[in-house]
Structure 1
C-alpha cells in the first residue's frame, strides 16, 4: 500500500489537470465579471440570478445525452476540445454585447462548454482509474477546478481594481473597459487548453487491473435516469453533489453583490473567492490520506455541515471593517477546505454505486442534477435577497447544504467504504 501511494500521476491525468486549470480559470474569471457587468448596466439581483441560472439551463437538457455519447466514444479528446472552444466563444460573446438578453444567451453558451469539458474529463478519470486510485485521481482532477476557482476570481479582482463600482463611478471612472478586457482574457485563457488536450494520446489501454463492479443489475437493463436513481444511495449522493456545487455558483454570483452592499471592493471579493478555491485545492491534494483514514460517507457529511456553518458567517461579518474582513477570510478558508473534500467523494460514491458500464451515464446524470440545482437555486436565492438582502442568497445555499447533511444523517449514510470483491 505504501508503494502504491507514492506512484506518480499518469501523464494523461497531468494533461487533464492542466486543461482543467485553464478552463476553470476562464469560467471563474468570467462569471463574477459578468455580475459586475450587469451591475454596471443597471441590473440587480434578479437579473444576476437569471444569468446564473442561464449558465446551467441549456446544459440541463444535454447532460444525459452527452453522458451516453461519452460511453460510446473511444476517446473523448475531440469532444472535450470542442467544449473548450464553446467555452471561449461564450466568454467572447459576453465581452461583445451589452444587451441583457444576449448576456443571458452568452452565459448559456459558456455553461455548455463547461459541461462538455467536465463530462469528458470525469468520463476519462472513471474509465482509466483503478478502484484504489479513483479517490486520488478524482481528487486531482477536481483540484484543477479549484485552482481555476482560485485564479479566476483573483485575476478578476486585479483587473477590476481596488474600488467598488460605486466608488469608481463617483470618482468619474469607468470600469466598462476593464470588465470587457477581463472577459477577453478569459476567452484567450481557455483556448490555450486546446493544444494541451491534443498532446493526449487518442487511445489508451484500460488499466491492467480493471475495477470490479460493486453493483450488479438484471441482464439487459439499460442505464436510464430512472434505473440509475433507483440504485441504493444514488439519490442521496446526487443531492449532496448538487448542494456542494450550488454553493460555489451562488458564491461566485452573489459575493460581488454582497461586497457592493457593504462597500467592499472587487479586489477583496476576488481574494475571498480565491481563498475558497485555494483551500479546496489543498484539501484535494490530501484526498488520499483523508479517504484512507475516514470513510467517504463521513467526509461528505463533514463537508456539507461544516461548510454550511462556515460560509454562512462570511456575508454576516464582511461589513464590519478590517476585523470583519479578516473573520470572513478565516471562515472562507474553513468552508473552502471542507467543500473541496465533498465533490470528489460524491464522484467516487456514484461511480462505485453503479455497474462499471453505467459510470459515464451516471456521472452525466450527476451533472444533470447539478444543473437542475444551478438553474433553480440561484433563482430562488435571488428571490430571497429581496426581503433579506444580497446575503440572503448565500444563506439560502448554506441551508441547502445543511438539509443535504441532515438527510444523510437521517438515512444513516455514515458507514464505511465498500471495497471491490
Structure 2
C-alpha cells in the first residue's frame, strides 16, 4: 500500500521533472537551427534536421506510452534521461552534418519520451485533482520560459559547446529526479533492446483507445492546440518580418506568450467552473489559443500584437491542466501511458502537418491569408468537435 509520504515524494519528483522535461524538449528544438547554422547547412538541410527531431517521436510515442504501462514510468525515465545527459555532449565532439542528423533522431526521441513520461506520471498521481495538475502545469510552463532563455544566453557566451553542455546538465538533473520516483515492484520484465521494436497490436490497441469519447475528444483538442503552436513557430516570424519588425521584437512577443501561459495554468479550476464542465472549458481554451494566432494579420502595432500573444498564451496555458485532469479522471490507470502516447502522436503529427499546410497556402496566396484560412479551419474543427462530443463527454 502506498503511503501519503511516498505519494508526496512522488508528486515532488514529478513536479520537478515537469520543470525540466518540456523545457528540455524546447531547448533541443532551439539548439537545432543554431548548431545547423554553425555547421554551414543549407536551408533544406536545416529543415530536415528539425524534421528528424520529430520523426522518431511520431513513430514511437504510442509504443513507449504503452511500454510505461508495463515497465513503469521510473524505468523508462531513467533510461531516456541518461541518454539526454550523454547525447548532447556528442554534438560538439562530432561536428559534421551526418552525425548531426543521426543525433537528432536519437536525442529528439529521448527528449520527447521524457516529456511523455512526465505527463504519464502526473496523470496517474493526480487522480482527477485539478490542484495537482495545476501545479504540474505551472512548473512545466515556468521551465519552458526559463530553459530556452538560459540556453540562448549560454550559447551567446560560450557557443555550441556550452549550449549543448547545458542541455546535457538538464538531462543529468532529470536522471537524478528519476531516481527519486517510485518504482513498480509488480513487474519483472527487463528493459532490453527488444522494447525498441514497435508491435502492431500496440497500435491497434491505441486505435481502440480512440473509441472512448473522452480520449478521442482530448486527442483532437491536443492536435488543434499544437496546431496553433506550429502556426506560430513556422510563419509568425515571417509575417512580422514582412511588416518591418526586428528579430528582437519578435522574440519579445514570443516571451510575452510564454509569460502569460505560465501563470494561467493556475486558474484552470476557475476557468472550468466558469464554463460548467471540463469539456466546454477545454474547447474554449483551445479556441482562444487558435484565435490569438489567427488574428495576427489584423493587428497593427506592437501592443496589439502583444495582446494577441497574451490571448494565445492564456489559452495554451489554461488548457494544459484541463487536459491532464480529464485524462487522469476518465482514463484507467492501466492505459494512461498508452493514452498519453496517442495524444503525443497527435501532437507530433500537428507539428509536421501544420507547417507544411501553411507553406502550401502561403505559396498559393500570401502569409496573411494563410493565417486566416488555416486558423479559420482549425477554429471550425474546434467548434465541430465541441458539438460532436457535447453529450458524450461530461
Which is worse superposed, 13-22 or 378-387?
378-387
| Match of residue 57 from structure 2 | 59
Give the corresponding residue for 1:209.
none
- For structure 1, which segment, 225-234 or 393-402, has the greater mean C-alpha deviation from structure 2 after superposition? 393-402
1:18-417 equivalence runs, <5 A: 18-38=16-36, 41=40, 43-44=42-43, 49-73=47-71, 75-89=72-86, 91-95=88-92, 99=96, 102-131=99-128, 133=129, 135-158=130-153, 178=159, 181-202=162-183, 224-252=205-233, 254=235, 264-294=245-275, 295-314=277-296, 317=299, 324-386=301-363, 398-399=375-376, 401-411=378-388, 413-414=389-390
Say which structure is richer in helix.
2
**Does the C-alpha gap of structure 1 residues 127 and 410 become closer, same or farther in structure 2, counting only changes over 3 Å?**
closer
Question: How many residues were matched structurally?
Answer: 370
Residue pair 2:21, 2:115 contacting (<8 A) in 1 also: no
| Rounded Cα–Cα distance in structure 2 between residues aligned with 1:352 and 1:26 | 27
TM-score, structure 1 length as denominator? 0.74
Distance 1:22 1:268, change over 3 A: farther
Distance in 1, Cα, partners of 2:88 & 2:24: 8
Change (3 A) 1:352 1:280: same
Q: What RMSD, in angstroms, separates the aligned Cα atoms of the two structures?
A: 3.6
CA contact (8 A) 1:60 1:372 kept: yes
Q: 1:19 to 1:274 in 2, by over 3 A?
A: farther
Look up the SS of the partner of 1:372 in the other structure: helix
Show CA shifts across 1:116-154 (max 9, x none): 2123222222222333x1x33333323333222212343
Contact conserved, 1:149 with 1:273, CA < 8 A, in 2? no
In 1, Cα distance between equivalents of 2:33 and 2:377: 23
Question: Once the 2 structures are TM-superposed, how far is the Cα of residue 336 of structure 1 from its aligned partner?
Answer: 0.4
CA, structure 1 residues 230+303, in 2 after alignment: closer, same or farther (shift >3 Å)? same
Distance verdict in 2 for CA 1:22–1:121, change over 3 Å:
closer
Secondary structure at the aligned position of 2:181 is classed as coil
CA distance in structure 2 between the aligned counterparts of 1:383 and 1:42, rounded to whole angstroms = 23
3-state SS of 1:230 partner:
coil
Distance 1:19 1:51 in 2: 27
What is the Cα deviation at residue 203 of structure 1?
5.4
2: distance between equivalents of 1:304 and 1:32? 25
Of 101-110 and 337-346, the range deviating more from structure 2: 101-110
Q: CA deviation at 1:26?
A: 2.9
